[in-house]
Structure 1
Amino acid sequence: MTEADPTPQPAPGAEPARFPCPSCGSEMRYSPATDRLTCPYCGATAPAPESARTASDPWGADPAPALAEQDFAAAVAELRARASSAETEETRIVQCTSCGAAITFEPDIHATQCPFCASPVVADTGPSRHIKPQGVLPFLIGEREARAAMQRWLDSLWFAPSGLKRFARAGRPMQGIYAPYWTYDARTESDYRGARGDAYYVTRTVTVNGKRQTRRERRIRWTPRRGRVSRFFDDVLVLASRSLPRKYADRLAPWDLSALEPYDPQYLAGFRAEAYTVDVEEGFAEARRIMDAQIRQDVRRDIGGDEQRIDAISTRISDVTFKHILLPVWLSAYRYRGKVYRFIVNARTGEVQGERPWSAWKIALAVLAGLILAAAIGWLVIRQQG
């Protein structure tokens, strides 16, 4: 019996774009600094060839002529039916069993390190159907600038382990990743019922310890209110990744979404892209929470007064559209005492966010130093009084 080849084969239609160097034949990579394709071996550069604009890529997508919104209801119905469409494709991804990241890899790479948590991963995940990206925000800062920004951030941390800063100074490579996001547009009309509170003051006379005193007390006069507020939401941004810590990813904002480019595989040359693990429906549920919070602010503003009470809001939502976009980040992961700490750099602005460990002995030394200082001050005070 012939033994089967254990090496996973690339999925049909998931062959990545290739950009061979015209000088040495090596794979060229997209350089954020020059906005050109650059060969990492011989240094040759080249503009994006026309073939790159029509080549297949890890997403199986041809670049769109413009950033087009997709109809939300139609997309959800299509995905539920699992039908083939010009807006979806099959991709082969690598699934990290530690953090759950789903990352697109070239078919000739079958084992590597997860850029999100530094765990080893093997490309054994079969193809799955995904919505294609419509837009991409290209890398603007390179790895050297990202590492310098991370170093400045680490230097500003109090009580960080020395090994953490040594890790950054060692110049270990950072991973350039295109993180998946959804943006949603929607038109809303919200009828509300509540009350407006207007403040007024009364003067009261009270007896305290046998003495009469006057006090000014604040009161609220409530008036029923009903009304309607309308708002058009444009590009409500929702992270479509479960591997990036949401609270840190959200702090990377703002993103200059006005600089989004129609998706083109040339931008992915030399980088990796994470496939979305939060689907379009789940992402819309998060977008609705963001919209609802804004609508409540609009209602309070419409009610007016010094205080507002909201009893009910009924919202009608229409013209819902969405885009699947890729935003650039630099990632680094550091293991400390069995736990993984991740650092994220916005590859457009250099904003750094991340998890950080605490050095127990540094904290203990700081507490001890504080106690010694307090004791010394107390001794000096006692001596001066004596």
Structure 2
Amino acid sequence: MNDNVEISVYNIVMNNQCPDCQATLYFSPNGRFRICERCGYKEPIERPRPKVKDLLHELSMMSDIKDDSDQTRSGTRILLAQGVGAAKAGENDEAYFALAGVLRRDAPMNEKVEAWIWLSKVFDDLADKRVCLEQVLVLNPTHGLARRGMAIIDGRLKKEDIINPDQIKATKQTGPLEAEAEQFVCMQCNGRMNYTPDGESLKCEFCGFTQTLSEAAEPKPDAQFGQGAFEQDFTAALSMAKGHLQPVNTRTFQCANCAVDFVLTPETLSVTCPYCDGVYVTETAESHEIMPPHALLPFAVDEDKARMALRSWFKQHRIERPGVSPIIGIYLPIWTFDVGGELKWSGFVKKGDDWVPANGNRLIFFDDVMVPGSKKLAKNLVKGLDSFDFKALTAYDSRYLADWPAERYQLPLADASLQGRRQVLKRLRKNPDSVTGSRGYVKDLRLHSNGLVIESFKLLLLPMWIAHYKLDDNVYDVTINGQTAVIHGQRPQNAIGKLFNWLRGE
């Protein structure tokens, strides 16, 4: 028994010697290494890495004593740099202890955010990664990397689909591509099927056979947005090519005069541009990659009803004997965004005779902020958005385009989202009380939108009849809502009317 004890003690002594120079090994100040002071040999002491939940529990038990000394701040930055460097080098244990050390200190929020982000890369277990990313979003709800990481963990985004938008290269086509699309052919007589304006069916122009669009499969419940929802995850979409490119083969045609692209069905042999009234045979139509719409509002107003509404509008505004162009039906693209988050503001409020600095923050949410995807008709379209009943949205089906083309969106998702954010800020500036609350009038109000985030989006197609009329050698545009027949149009004006429009910025 005594011999065994002596052997164990001997092994301990021998193991405490440097394997290179046999000098004594000493513990490092942090207790994580044994170091040889003679030759510099360094031996890590292996111990199990704690779970993230254990670290959170430890942090919750720590006191809130603040230490803003330069020495502490410098030490925190050094620890963070060591942790990031170790994580990049794949030394996960070293990275954990350094990054955890940052969190144990009174570090600034941005350094804590960076520490949690890199901690999420240290752990392999998805549950630990989720906890780390959740801590980032608690500190900064709009953090892009954390939101993208959560999308990957939730299965809403695949790593292989993530792209660098600065390295996207436009693909060159050597010739037209064949687009896969449904043929709208009657099952009884093989005749051409036309879409009916009631939004419910296709009707054969020869034998009268009808096929209801509701025969399609029932909408599947969405894991994030619910049954029959059309909302799309913005963070996931923007991380993939579809947020910057247009990824589905679709037959399109470009007007030679307006340079506007239209989405066509395979059966379409000719098309009339609703903007310049140019008539084209679509033999030169090609296929391009675009993002398919998520939903649309079907046409509920046929051409006869649109003409009647236009005549009533002329009569109402006393426009006599106008030269009216053909009325063209078209689906127009529109993006919608759900925008929310924390909005910080600063400015000056009046106290007595003095203006004193003031600031605050408020949680906001805007549902379905609309951005037209058409640059050609943007102003008229924005004015007419309130006249649509979006409760009647239905899932996109290419059969709705059997009679009317759809304009291809000219504004990509990424650019449209920026316009959506600007719209939100513009609305808030027009109604500052919704931001500042009971502070009264705030001078030099500044809105800080870093905390705003776009939660979701969808691409819609809206039905519209477009016409032009000529009066006294001037041409005016008119749009007729294809769902409600509400009209928005340009009218002849005198000098006073033009002045009012100029003052309104029109």
Q: Same fold (TM over 0.5)?
A: yes
CA contact (8 A) 1:94 1:122 kept: no
Change (3 A) 1:143 1:33: same
**Residue aligning to 1:344:** 479
Change (3 A) 1:23 1:268: same
CA contact (8 A) 2:272 2:328 kept: no
Residue 191 of structure 2 is aligned to residue 26 of structure 1? yes
Change (3 A) 1:153 1:81: closer
CA contact (8 A) 2:464 2:482 kept: yes
Q: How far apart in 1 are the matches of 2:322 and 2:230?
A: 47
Change (3 A) 1:81 1:189: closer
**Residue aligning to 1:38:** 203
**Residue aligning to 1:354:** 489
For residue 191 of structure 1, the aligned residue among 334, 344, 349 is 344
CA contact (8 A) 1:229 1:299 kept: no
- Return the offset for 1:73: 3.8
Deviation per CA, 1:113-160: give whole Å up to 9, x if none.
Answer: 2123202345435432211111111122222222111111122234x4
Q: How far apart in 1 are the matches of 2:472 and 2:303?
A: 27
Matches within 5 A, 1:59-138: 66-79=228-241, 88-107=247-266, 109=268, 111-121=270-280, 123=282, 124=284, 126-138=286-298
CA contact (8 A) 2:297 2:390 kept: yes
Q: Which runs of 5+ in 2 are unaligned?
A: 1-174, 219-225, 495-506
Supply the AA of the counterpart residue of 2:458. Answer: K
Count of residues paired in the alignment = 310
Change (3 A) 1:319 1:109: closer
Deviation per CA, 1:164-201: give whole Å up to 9, x if none.
Answer: 3xx37xxx5x3221111111112221111112347x9x
Q: How far apart in 1 are the matches of 2:491 and 2:194?
A: 32
- Return the offset for 1:346: 0.9
Change (3 A) 1:306 1:233: closer
CA contact (8 A) 1:53 1:265 kept: no
TM-score by length of 2: 0.54
- Return the offset for 1:72: 2.6
CA contact (8 A) 1:101 1:242 kept: no
For residue 442 of structure 2, the aligned residue among 302, 308, 311 is 308
Change (3 A) 1:35 1:126: closer
- Return the offset for 1:313: 2.0
**Residue aligning to 1:329:** 464
- Secondary structure of 2:385's counterpart equals coil
Change (3 A) 1:229 1:290: same
**Residue aligning to 1:153:** 313
- Return the offset for 1:352: 0.6
Q: Which has the higher helix share?
A: 2
Matches within 5 A, 1:161-172: 162-164=321-323, 167=324, 172=326
- Secondary structure of 1:253's counterpart equals helix
Q: Which runs of 5+ in 1 are unaligned?
A: 1-8, 55-63, 201-219, 360-386
Q: How far apart in 2 are the matches of 1:13 and 1:143?
A: 29
Deviation per CA, 1:193-235: give whole Å up to 9, x if none.
Answer: 112347x9xxxxxxxxxxxxxxxxxxx6534321101111211
Q: How far apart in 1 are the matches of 2:395 and 2:420?
A: 23
Q: How far apart in 1 are the matches of 2:260 and 2:251?
A: 13
Deviation per CA, 1:251-298: give whole Å up to 9, x if none.
Answer: 212122222112122322322211111111221122111111233356
Change (3 A) 1:76 1:127: farther
Change (3 A) 1:233 1:24: same
Change (3 A) 1:53 1:105: farther
- Secondary structure of 1:251's counterpart equals helix
**Residue aligning to 1:229:** 362
- Secondary structure of 1:238's counterpart equals strand
Q: How far apart in 2 are the matches of 1:66 and 1:103?
A: 27
Q: How far apart in 1 are the matches of 2:244 and 2:440?
A: 52
**Residue aligning to 1:247:** 379
Supply the AA of the counterpart residue of 2:347. Answer: G
Q: How far apart in 1 are the matches of 2:241 and 2:470?
A: 38
Change (3 A) 1:335 1:97: farther
Q: How far apart in 2 are the matches of 1:188 and 1:34?
A: 37
Q: How far apart in 2 are the matches of 1:231 and 1:116?
A: 38
- Return the offset for 1:100: 2.8
CA contact (8 A) 2:179 2:287 kept: no
CA RMSD in angstroms, aligned pairs only: 3.4
Supply the AA of the counterpart residue of 2:428. Answer: I
Larger Rg: 2
Identity percentage of aligned residues: 28
TM-score by length of 1: 0.69
Supply the AA of the counterpart residue of 2:240. Answer: E
Q: Which has the higher strand share?
A: 1
Supply the AA of the counterpart residue of 1:196. Answer: V
Q: How far apart in 2 are the matches of 1:296 and 1:96?
A: 39
Change (3 A) 1:276 1:81: closer
- Return the offset for 1:333: 3.5
Q: How far apart in 2 are the matches of 1:10 and 1:349?
A: 38
Residue 392 of structure 2 is aligned to residue 259 of structure 1? yes
Residue 337 of structure 2 is aligned to residue 177 of structure 1? no
Query: Higher relative contact order by CA 8 Å / sep ≥ 6: 1 or 2?
Result: 1
Change (3 A) 1:138 1:325: same
Supply the AA of the counterpart residue of 2:307. Answer: R
CA contact (8 A) 1:21 1:39 kept: yes
